[in-house]
Amino acid sequence: MKQRRNKILENIKLLSAGAKGVSVGKTEEGKTVLVTGAVPGDLVNVRVKKTKSNYVEGEAVEILEYSEHRVDPKCVHFGTCGGCKWQNIAYNKQLDFKHSEVVNNITRIGGVSGFDIIPILGSEEQYHYRNKMEFSFSNARWLTQYEISSEENFGNRDALGFHIPGMWSKILDLKECFLQEEPSNQIRLAVKKYAVENGLAFYDVREQAGFLRTLMLRQNSKGEWMVLFQLFKDNKPERIKLFDYLLSQFPQISTLVFAINPKGNDSIYDLDIQTYFGEGFINEEMDGLKFKIGPKSFFQTNYKQALELYRKTLEFAELTGDQVVYDLYTGTGTIAQYVARNAKHVIGIEAVQEAIDAANEHAKINGLENCTFYCGDMKNVFNDEFLANHPKADVLITDPPRDGMHQKVVEQILKLAPERIVYVSCNSATQARDIALMKEDYELVKILPVDMFPQTHHVENIALLIKK
């Protein structure tokens, strides 16, 4: 058993990128090797972690030749932090890999061919593109191997940053992060410094104790910021001093809110959010549509690229003003409202009540009287009775979660038989599976991969299907 665990495959050339950001190579015998800790183009020695009949999983233990696609990562935390795993790959190659992954999934899993493939839509911003970041406080920061083995005292163990992948109780103390524009780093570092200097207790996840629990920063395209603190318990005098200090240092903060959370998890959706400063929300605008974004709001984290995605979705839908549109998995109704100005009527369905409430509020704000939203589990709401009591869809837009659509939902779409389906997906593998279920009735006309999250392996895709 020990021998198998330490088996090394030598001189494996990594040829391409695979699912979830792994690199793919071949043994001399032609067996596929899925490798972590390296990038396509590297020549590596691989420690085998798992052997299957048709592939091997392993990690790179030695890089013999470096890929020409490598670049120097910007962040000091690269390799420890779980995000931005493709920072060491040139952006044009990231796009190539993502484009290939989508095309391969659609053809191989979907079993379709002959469709138009539009080149991937890259993100204008490769860094600083997120409008929302969440950080955790901890009194047990992640220690480097050097710190663990050293007898030197490295000071207190307080941290404000990200969870270490696979280690729920350990937090990486962030020195820098390139995902959100400034003053994101400045706010986080100022909060950390103030808290340490003033002896505020960082959260102890094992003991369920402490004061400071999480910090969330949201911004809009106008440079206005929302700050949300989760506190394990209230300490009003210290809370007020912290909040006032932060507001005095950062005039960009337009609203500051907080929640007391004594629960075992960090979810805010069942918590009462209290406003300390400002209106308790920020506003965003997308091509003339207004959206109110609160602490609990669902909103695309890459605003600029989301806008491009919506524009392309509308383009694929080819609306003339007299069609009925169904928008499945509508969320807060951003796509529904974006297309509503070009439609006769839009019907949106979503499982989360808060999202539906937000969708109705936004429709009212935007003066859209041709949007109707329904709440419930898609496979239960979107049934025969629903179809019988609502107008037939001319165009259907669907944007499901990573798991794709439930088979019952696909069956109902086939019953509904819209002329045109625009399928927006954050997981082209499940999208391809769903397309395969529809290919007897629908022709896949074209696809457009969209990069929403540079420096990661994630990629979106828009597919257009026309009724045969």
The single-letter code of the amino acid at 415 is K
How far is residue 394's CA from residue 420's CA, in Å, rounded to a whole number?
7
Catalytic residue among 84, 371, 375, 426: 426
Please answer whether residues 199 and 207 qualify as being in contact, where contact means their C-beta atoms are separated by less than 8 angstroms.
no
Question: Position of tokens 């990629």?
Answer: 459
How far is residue 106's CA from residue 208's CA, in Å, rounded to a whole number?
46
CA 461 to chain centre: 14
How far is residue 439's CA from residue 401's CA, in Å, rounded to a whole number?
21
Our CA dihedral for 66, 70, 71, 72, rounded to 10 degrees, sits at -50
Please answer whether residues 346 and 334 qualify as being in contact, where contact means their C-beta atoms are separated by less than 8 angstroms.
no
How far is residue 456's CA from residue 82's CA, in Å, rounded to a whole number?
10
- Specify the length of the chain in residues: 468
Please answer whether residues 56 and 32 qualify as being in contact, where contact means their C-beta atoms are separated by less than 8 angstroms.
yes
Question: Angle CA(297)–CA(326)–CA(108) in degrees, nearest 5?
Answer: 90
How far is residue 355's CA from residue 353's CA, in Å, rounded to a whole number?
5
Active site residue 426: yes
Question: Position of tokens 């484009």?
Answer: 99
Nearest to residue 325, comparing CAs of 388, 382, 395, 423? 395
Q: 291 vs 286, 314, 352, 365, CA distance in Å?
A: 8, 18, 18, 8
What are the catalytic residues?
426
